[in-house]
Structure 1
């Protein structure tokens, strides 16, 4: 039941959204739904969307490749176990591990907006905005996996006279190769979503085309872009699913791991060449000087900012969106127990993952008043698409003997699904929900920039007015909040994984 109770967050959110809807919203929503079945096939539009898609994919590939390479290197350098293998003191690894918490605590959108201010509009800005936090996230996962490995084989090889480098490559590469392939594929999927999101805020790509179509109420053109993005997403997800399925059954050897590393490097190089061809006149990056605030400016900004309302709205956004993301997937699967309906729900998850939260907020604002519930609904639905997909994949791989036994004993499809399938799966679902809540806390800045609530809205206002003292304080507050959320999510995740 703990997997279903978070869905209660839908009640206050839907009440506020329905109460704030105005008369013109029905017509706008109908036009939006009609555009899904009659997307525009204008050749000029298709050409523009195809170019935007190329920018998004190239940015995602390069950002993914760079972040994966940097993340693995930083993860190795922040692992105390590897430092002790070389008989070196462990404090530099511990210090680096703590230092890497800062880049990942800042969302890639904030990195993009900051780099846009100091480097100007350039295709490399979006790549850097993805690479910086992603490299830190990869380093965290890689380091944690290294720390949790059984070192008996490594110690045995060292005692036989093997060099530390040879011992690490031979003893650790099979297990870490599987981690690299599985988690690396997941990060590629995230990079595609992040590249689309950055386009919504002026950093190029398909996201910019989607935003222009929505703001001009050209829903037929909007759905052309969404169907195109959905097609790419489905192809990528199916490829990664086959990839993960194989990596879960095969122990990777050194040659296979080396082949994957070469593929990552090739992807980064391909993305760089691709972007250079798409923007031949981009030139080199230019550093725009920024007047950093002094202590007096920081104190004045700290007194001016409405801290309590901002923090309260950010936390409420996180709690409501996390409740929707965690509780909606099992609730929908419970009320649609047949396989045919489950396939329809799978398509619904794909649609929710494809539509970026800022785009959903803009769409809802066309027929509703701006409230915190709008942002919570958009953010919750988007993340429920991710949670729902993982829940369905986990249920599909699970032993269904208890489910079949309950059905044979006369239990209803809902009860047999609830106790036979969801109940054994609920600890892992709640564990991932704890991690996803940490991600949602970072993503509140995305809907805050659009919906006018929380730290995100104030950050956008400060960036627009070049109020660097307020920007620095707001980013520091966001970092502290996300690091606290990361610690709490780790505690809850360990609790559910051990239950």
Structure 2
């Protein structure tokens, strides 16, 4: 009896010993990435000259105050309002046609770039020779990297030299890079969609194409449609930016008004841009809520994003949105009348051939290598500072910008007015930040900041804040409120409820969004380089203007390498975040 008792005590001791958790080591991947980003931020501050030297120009404040005072007295002259209406229609038509073309390219490219397509198309080799289906998959993925890395404004400048200032130039400038970006996201959606219906059809003898159409596309359709409408919002902003290079629309009129210092006209054009972006935002949000895809992009949450089904097919909002989109597309093509036959004209083919031949081999010398390395460092530092500003500000503004966050249970009637007021002001501020093109922000900031990479970094930061804050606010809105309410019921103070019930569950997603936008921001540095904010973008703009094709190819190679580096780091950190969330 005593022996059995001793054995039981010993077993309990061993069980208790085994169940004790091990203290995690400080030397892990999270520590490595944290130290790396901390060092990168300090290095970027040094690159911007913030550690010493003058960066602020006090003499420019009167011009900035004059600019903002004009917001309360915009130009409402009927003749100018007619110009604003025409420019608004041009910008809208560019956005609609551009997103339609990019969606078509992205749909085909997304299928070819998805791993599930090649696994279904090469079923015999799926298990025995994994590299057989990975070879075409990797080739397609690599082929999309170059058009995705080059910003639409560079595509616009390139096609201006080939086609001139015609609507087709703006459409191609939007369709090519947006098509590559859409293909990448569509492929990820298809790869994360549940595959049981697809595998059942393949096992029953259906062809890969038939199985793909009936087994995978229907469950993925809500998320594909949701992301398409998100790209529509992005396309409106891209169309406004392209106006700065002479493509017409609101961006072009804004630049003309800024050059002539007619700030009242600028604000009239800004309000039209705010209205256009706001309506697109409301339309996209209503459709996504009906489809069950509450967020524009859900990173690190594949189970939530890709497990929903199309339950809103008979909903009047869904049907009305699809019908409205078709009508808007028909009107836009009719309004612009792009001449696609110009792509096959002998002169166009000859100019394209001459441009390609003149670009190879790329030119690089020892002196140019040093210059390009220095400008690459400026570009990287600019993107880091922009994301530090946008990310930290976005986290602070995401919570007041989230609908209902200040009034989670709806019972605080006394606080309703100020809670709603803070929400409205924050949302409006984010809308203004993302609606005004980054080059315009840079030109305004050059009134009070000395030329260099800092005006470009702040301009990109403000512009990205408007996008990032909106994405983060949506994450807060769709957060499961039960843990927070449980803490409140147990009597936890409001501060502790926020620190333990909200912040830990949103920070991983916020970090993923910041890293995702960093990939976009490194491309967008070319926008502020266009107005002299420094980096590779400024050099690339000068080379395009002087038809220096060999030098342009060299600069694009550095841009591509920098984009791929940021993409690799961002993907690695987001993968680490997903691994930690799955273990939690």
- 1:251 aligned to which of 309, 326, 338: 309
3-state DSSP class of the match of 2:153? helix
Does 1:33 pair with 2:33?
Answer: no
Equivalences for 1:88-487 in 2 at 5 Å?
Answer: 90=133, 91-248=135-292, 251-252=309-310, 267-276=328-337, 284=342, 287=348, 289=351, 290=354, 292-293=357-358, 298-300=363-365, 303=368, 306-332=371-397, 339=419, 340-404=421-485, 413=494, 416-487=497-568
Question: Judging changes above 3 Å, is the alpha-carbon distance between structure 1 residues 330 and 217 closer, same or farther for their aligned structure 2 residues?
Answer: same
TM-score, L = length of structure 1: 0.89
C-alpha contact 1:52 1:205 (8 A) present in aligned 2? yes
Deviates more, 1:346-355 or 1:267-276: 267-276
Residue 102 of structure 2 is matched in structure 1 by 67
Q: Which piece of structure 1 moves more, 412-421 or 118-127?
A: 412-421
Unpaired segments of 5 or more residues in structure 1? none
Q: Which position in structure 2 is the counterpart of 1:57?
A: 92
Deviates more, 1:298-307 or 1:178-187: 298-307
Distance 2:464 2:249 in 1: 22
CA drift at 1:299: 3.7
Larger C-alpha radius of gyration, 1 or 2? Answer: 2
1:368/1:330 Cα in 2 relative to 1: closer, same or farther (>3 Å)? same
Report the Cα offset of residue 151 of structure 1.
2.3
**Distance of aligned partners of 1:191 and 1:14 in 2 relative to their CA distance in 1, 3 Å threshold:** farther
Q: Cα RMSD over matched residues?
A: 3.3
Taking structure 2 as the reference length, the TM-score comes to 0.76
**CA offsets per residue over residues 51-110 of structure 1, 9 Å max, x none?**
111111101100100110111112112334323424476333432222112111111111
- SS of 1:251's equivalent in the other structure is coil
Gaps of 5+ in 2: 1-33, 124-131, 294-307, 407-417
Pair 1:48-2:83 in alignment: yes
Distance between the aligned counterparts of 1:207 and 1:17, measured in 2?
36
What is the aligned length?
492
Counterpart CA distance in 1 for 2:172 and 2:521 is 21
| Greater displacement, 362-371 / 261-270 | 261-270
Cα displacement (A) at 1:401 = 4.1
Deviation of the 1:454 alpha carbon:
0.6
| Alpha carbons 2:397, 2:469 under 8 Å: kept | no
